[in-house]
Amino acid sequence: MGEGKPIKSYFSLGASAFEQHTLRKSITVSYLLALTLIAVLAVGGYVALSSAIETQERGVAITKDISRHLTLSQRISLLALQLAVESDSEKRVEIKSVLNESILEMQSSHDSLTAQRSEWKLLTKYSNHQGGAYLNPPIDLDQRVETFLSSAMRLVLTPDVGISLKNSDVQFLLSVGSESLRESIDYAIKRYEGITAERIEFLKDLEVGSLVSILIVLCLEGWFVFRPMVRRIHESTKVLQDSALEIAAVIETVGEGIISCDDRGIIRGLNRAVKRLWKTSKREILGKPISSLFETGQTEVGHSESIIP
């Protein structure tokens, strides 16, 4: 019957160790999940922000190209007027040369825009506006630019005798074509400005949402991970302190002499039996090498027996 207590104590220690292992594992898993969630939020916010910035840059580039259409179309209209009123053949050749360069420049800008239709779809995906220039088929501004450039190119190829203010291409470039193109360009620019404003609002919402989400996760992490961890540390510290007091009490009351030393052999602790055996005070022994207690000769200890280390 006397052996039952050690067996019971053994199983109690085993159960306690198992509980501690389970607790450590649970805390570790919770901590890893919290860190993973924070990492996912951070990476997700970065990816979304990077995508939004990239889309913003595309929108700015497209708006810039569309704005160039306005400048180039006005230049072409002005050159068409100069060509129609100019009577000097040599100056007409110079005007046609400049007009041809402006047409090629506007055509290049137009080709660059028409090659980015996938970019327009990406931009309009985030916009609430429907229809518009350079965005959804039929692409109105695209068609008007093509018509405007075709008319300007025909004017360049027209012989001088056929160029006047009554020329149909000149009239189109100065009135109908120029006005309708300007209206389409203005509409397209406003359209992209609206998309840009929406993207800016989206970025602001994303910034606030990411910050709030991370703060919530940090609060939950502190409550469900670090709070139990700190409580467990306090409990373990108290257990260690109680165990240290119990061990000190056992050492102090045991009948045999017990000396505790550090790794250098310096005495750091002793019990009453040591003081009784060596007939000295605790103050005289603490801090000295343990070898100083054992001399090569006889030492008067208790009943004057010889002690050899």
Helix H, strand E, coil C: the string for 14-27 is: HHHHHHHHHHHHHH
| Single-letter code of the amino acid located at 267 | I
Q: What is the gyration radius of the CA atoms in the chain, in angstroms?
A: 46
Reading the block at residue 32, the tokens are: 């890893």
pLDDT computed for residue 94 by the predictor: 92
> Could you give the 3-state DSSP secondary structure of residue 269?
strand
Whether residue 138 is found in the same domain as residue 285: no
Is the pLDDT score of 100 beyond 90?
yes
The answer to whether residue 83 sits within a structural domain is yes
The residues, ordered by sequence, that sit 6+ positions from 299 with a Cβ below 8 Å of its Cβ are 278, 293, 306, 307
pLDDT band per the 50, 70, 90 thresholds, residue 154: very high
Q: What is the pLDDT of residues 65-82, one digit of tens each?
A: 778 888 888 899 899 999
Q: Which SS3 state, helix, strand or coil, does residue 1 take?
A: coil
Q: How far is it between the farthest Cα atoms of the chain?
A: 143
Q: Which domain holds residue 221?
A: 4-232
Please give the backbone phi and psi of residue 269, each rounded to the nearest 5 degrees, phi first.
-165, 155
pLDDT for position 209: 81
The reported pLDDT for the residue numbered 215 is 82
By the 8 A CB rule, do 191 and 123 touch?
no
Band of residue 126 on the pLDDT scale cut at 50, 70, 90: very low
The pLDDT assigned to 102 comes to 92
Neighbouring CB atoms inside 10 A of 277's CB total: 19
Closest CA to 130 of 195, 220, 183, 37: 195
User: Percent of the chain at pLDDT above 90?
Assistant: 9
Q: Are residues 130 and 11 in the same domain?
A: yes
The number of domains in the chain is 2
Q: Report percent pLDDT > 70 for the chain.
A: 74
Does residue 198 share a domain with residue 308?
A: no
Do 178 and 120 fall within a single domain? yes
Domain boundary among 169, 200, 232: 232
Note the pLDDT of residue 5.
42
End-to-end CA distance of the chain: 41
